[in-house]
Amino acid sequence: MSKKHLNSMLGARRFGKTLGGLSLVLSAGCAVSEMPEENLPEGSMEAAAQGSRPIFTPAGDADQHTLAEAISRAHVVVNLETLGLDNEDDIEVKRVRIDELSLAHTRIQQKFKGLPVFEGEAIVHLDRNGNLSDVTDGFVKRIRRDLSVSPTLTEKQAIRAALARYVCESCLTAAPEVSLLVMRHDGEDHLAYRVKLRRIDSTHDTAMPVLFIDAHSGKEIHRYDNLQTAQGTSLYSGTVTIGTSSSSGKYYPEDLTRKVGTFNYANGTSTVYRVSDTDDLWNGTDQRVVVDAHFGASMVYDYYKTVHGRDGIDGAGGPVAYAAVNGGAGLISSIVRYSTSYNNAFWDGSQMTYGDGDGTTFAPLVSLDIAGHEMAHGVTEFEANLTYENESGALNESWSDVFGALVERYVYGESADTWKIGEDCYTPGTTGDALRYLDNPHNANNNGYTSNDDPDHYSERYTGTEDNGGVHINSGIPNHAFYLLAKGGTHHLSGVRVTGIGADDAGKIWYKALADYMTASTNFAGARQATLSAASALFGASSAQTTSTQTAWCAVGVGECPASGGGGGSGTNLLTNGTFEGSVSPWVLSGTGALYVNNGSYPHSGTGYPYFGNAVSVSGSMYQQITIPAGASPTLTFSLNVTSAESTTTTQYDQLFVELRNTSGTLLKTLATYSNLNKGTAGAYVQKSLSLAGYGGQTVRIQFRTTNDSSAITTFRVDTAEAK
């Protein structure tokens, strides 16, 4: 391959594609010296450069995958400084996927001095002609170069340190797994051992803890539970057809076409038994759990194969836990009747396990949507591998809820129950309830962790440490975004109106986002961007599907609405000087806790912005008076940055109230409350959207009001405000 042709593909363009602050710029010829020509298929680049055909075709062959890897690696190598990396040894290509649209997606693992970096990953996206179209950047920026990667502790010492911090070493049911890596936690870089423990024992303490032990000091850096659970009940499927195999005159629930099999713990916790029948008529009462689990796994397989072209959980016909009775094919395995009265179901990294329930709170946990939910955890593990805590963990749970619902819809058609999880037999004595609700997350009781039960808007999110940082609780926010995208509607809090695109297109967007645009550390803002990228790839950047995707996230308080979409507003910005440039006027400031800076260090745009809470024991406010046209339902949007010296993760000591008041200053409505619990890093703004519906034809004040207590300072910065 000639350098001239390579230069025509990589060097003659300047790419200015920006994502999350990353701008990749490739100057003429700079990629040539970095591209290993011996790794490129002969003639591929020349043919593309001469316009004879695209480089990539759907699925792609081995040469196309090699070429995509080389081009993607070159893009990263010439932008190491921008990406916060030191040298080209800091990257390792994990996988290349060329999708059904002929787009190439190369996942790259970040390394540091030869060791993997926890959650350090990027995806380079190429169009069908090999041009850079996007980058999903999850690299950990500028790791401290003097960090030693020679551990002081041995693996055995790290395991002992982890076990010393676990409540019941004797309860573990498997040997610990340990690996050495580099991680950043709370702003500090560490050489760490990741120690994975496993306790699968039928108690409520069943868990798969992951502990990170400092490889020099032996101190615990961080931990979370990687057992990915769903609680639900048997959704009896009536008379169904299931795939079986035969051996020595007996039949087994082993579908050798789909490569799925169902096995039995027989109410134990360690020994797995085969299930058999002599006449292949699986109609015994005690066989219904087996039938439901087996049918569920088969339908989940069919859904992914038919709708998304995916072969099994891992995309390659697996993973397999147990072999078929004839000693042949390995099977994607479901195991029923785990323990006695066990109120749970879980994916453990290799198989689905289902409890029988206690008969009161739960019946057997083998419903179709829960089977879809559990197997989706597996799909996520083999794709984005979302870390199971905080926002990434809530996305992990949400994507499982979504695909559980879509599997149920695939089999039974769409109904009101489609948008409920575990609805048919959760609390068997109570009809009509469910574990979680995509259509109305507030219907799900979360034991008071948030005031309105499961949140459906980002402003309501749980910020504590329970539930792995709210992985089930906060799943309601992206769940509702998906529901609004599929079905359409107006969000009750934000007032943003979403035009539905149907569950088929919405499901394609969600799947592609997971497979090609999300990484382990993706948060809600990153999921928004991933689904926008997926929608744009599938339907076009200006398509109705992409516009509705953006509007759906805006409706639940994540990101901005499209310029022409969402809400029932006037179309004209009712606020003056919402960018706060040059002065704060016509906004009115009062109190010692409300200030304005014309040339601040942390603007969202421009240079000016107001800020609240510059000291302890202060209060203050800022308002602007507007007239809302009759019949209009505008949305107030603004960018908010919160920094705080408060250390609590549970108590709101300092608060910013967003209020609607009449012209005399009387409170009409508190639109939202933010606090020290919303803290982030200085300058890291989050877009907020609040509905002004119901006040058409009135003149009102939009007011921001703060109170800071006497302990530690919390500062609230506001910028880019609009009401339209």
Q: Which of the following is catalytic: 119, 121, 254, 374?
A: 374
State the CATH number of the domain containing residue 391.
Answer: 1.10.390.10
Say how far apart CA 548 and CA 529 lie, in whole Å.
Answer: 13
179-198: per-residue pLDDT in tens?
Answer: 999 999 988 999 999 999 88
Q: Band of the pLDDT at 443, cuts 50, 70, 90?
A: very high
Indicate if 133 and 219 belong to the same structural domain. no
Computed over every residue of the chain, the mean pLDDT equals: 85
610 domain-assigned:
yes
In the chain, how many domains are there? 4
Instruction: Please name the amino acid found at residue 488.
Output: G
Give the mean model confidence (pLDDT) for residues 329-353.
88
489 domain-assigned:
yes
434 domain-assigned:
yes
Indicate if 130 and 165 belong to the same structural domain. no
* Predicted pLDDT of residue 723: 92
Q: What percent of the chain shows pLDDT beyond 70?
A: 88
Q: Considering only 36-40, 238-242, 543-547, 713-717, which range has the smallest mean pLDDT?
A: 36-40
- Higher pLDDT, residue 338 or 285: 338
* Predicted pLDDT of residue 205: 64
- Higher pLDDT, residue 329 or 219: 219
Q: What percent of the chain shows pLDDT beyond 90?
A: 57
Q: Exposure of 563 by Cβ count < 10 A (0-12 exposed, 13-18 middle, 19+ buried)? A: exposed
* Predicted pLDDT of residue 571: 63
Indicate if 605 and 675 belong to the same structural domain. yes
The DSSP H or E segment spanning 96 is: strand 91-98
Q: Band of the pLDDT at 167, cuts 50, 70, 90?
A: low
Count CB-CB contacts under 10 A for residue 4: 12
Q: Band of the pLDDT at 590, cuts 50, 70, 90?
A: very high
* Predicted pLDDT of residue 143: 94
**Which of 205, 226, 247 is the C-terminal boundary of a domain?**
226
For every residue of 439-505, DSSP letters joined together read S-GGGS--TTSSBTBS-SSGGG---SSHHHHHTTTTTHHHHHHHHHHHH-EE-TTT--EE----HHH
Q: Band of the pLDDT at 31, cuts 50, 70, 90?
A: very low
Indicate if 417 and 560 belong to the same structural domain. yes
State the CATH number of the domain containing residue 718.
Answer: 2.60.120.200
Give the mean model confidence (pLDDT) for residues 695-716.
93
Indicate if 507 and 593 belong to the same structural domain. no
* Predicted pLDDT of residue 408: 94
In contact, 151 and 180? CB cutoff 8 Å = yes
Q: Which of the following is catalytic: 190, 442, 472, 491?
A: 472
* Predicted pLDDT of residue 3: 32
Indicate if 79 and 105 belong to the same structural domain. yes
118-161: per-residue pLDDT in tens?
Answer: 999 999 999 999 999 989 999 999 999 999 999 999 999 998 88
222-260: per-residue pLDDT in tens?
Answer: 988 876 543 322 334 677 888 888 888 899 999 888 899
Say how far apart CA 446 and CA 427 lie, in whole Å.
Answer: 15
**Which of 565, 596, 630 is the C-terminal boundary of a domain?**
565
574 domain-assigned:
no
Say how far apart CA 487 and CA 506 lie, in whole Å.
Answer: 9
468 domain-assigned:
yes
Tell which residue, 227, 199, 225, has the closest CA to residue 210: 225
In contact, 633 and 566? CB cutoff 8 Å = no
Indicate if 609 and 557 belong to the same structural domain. no
For every residue of 237-278, DSSP letters joined together read --S-----EEETTEEESEETTTTEEEEE-TT-SS--EE--BS
pTM across the whole model? 0.69
- Parallel/antiparallel/unpaired status of strands 330-338 and 260-264: parallel
Q: φ and ψ at 636, to 5 degrees?
A: -85, 120
- Residue corresponding to tokens 């108690």: 203
In contact, 414 and 503? CB cutoff 8 Å = yes
Indicate if 162 and 200 belong to the same structural domain. yes
Indicate if 544 and 649 belong to the same structural domain. no
Say how far apart CA 91 and CA 684 lie, in whole Å.
Answer: 27
Which tokens in the block code for residue 666?
């009387």
pLDDT(22) > 60: no
Indicate if 561 and 469 belong to the same structural domain. yes
pLDDT(568) > 60: no
**Which of 226, 247, 279 is the C-terminal boundary of a domain?**
226
* Predicted pLDDT of residue 550: 95
Indicate if 543 and 395 belong to the same structural domain. yes
13 domain-assigned:
yes
583 domain-assigned:
no
* Predicted pLDDT of residue 232: 27
* Predicted pLDDT of residue 234: 30
451-509: per-residue pLDDT in tens?
Answer: 778 999 998 999 899 999 999 999 999 999 999 999 999 998 888 899 999 999 999 99
Indicate if 615 and 547 belong to the same structural domain. no
CA dihedral 243, 316, 515, 310 (to 10 degrees): -40
Say how far apart CA 13 and CA 126 lie, in whole Å.
Answer: 14
* Predicted pLDDT of residue 18: 32
Note if 374 is an active site residue.
Answer: yes
In contact, 251 and 278? CB cutoff 8 Å = yes
Give the mean model confidence (pLDDT) for residues 646-672.
92
Q: Spell out the alpha helix ranges (H) of 256-385.
A: 288-308, 368-382
Q: Integer distance in angstroms from the first to the last C-alpha of the chain?
A: 56
Note if 472 is an active site residue.
Answer: yes
Domain that holds residue 633: 588-723
Give the mean model confidence (pLDDT) for residues 625-636.
89
State the CATH number of the domain containing residue 175.
Answer: 3.10.450.40
pLDDT(564) > 50: yes
653 domain-assigned:
yes
Say how far apart CA 579 and CA 405 lie, in whole Å.
Answer: 42
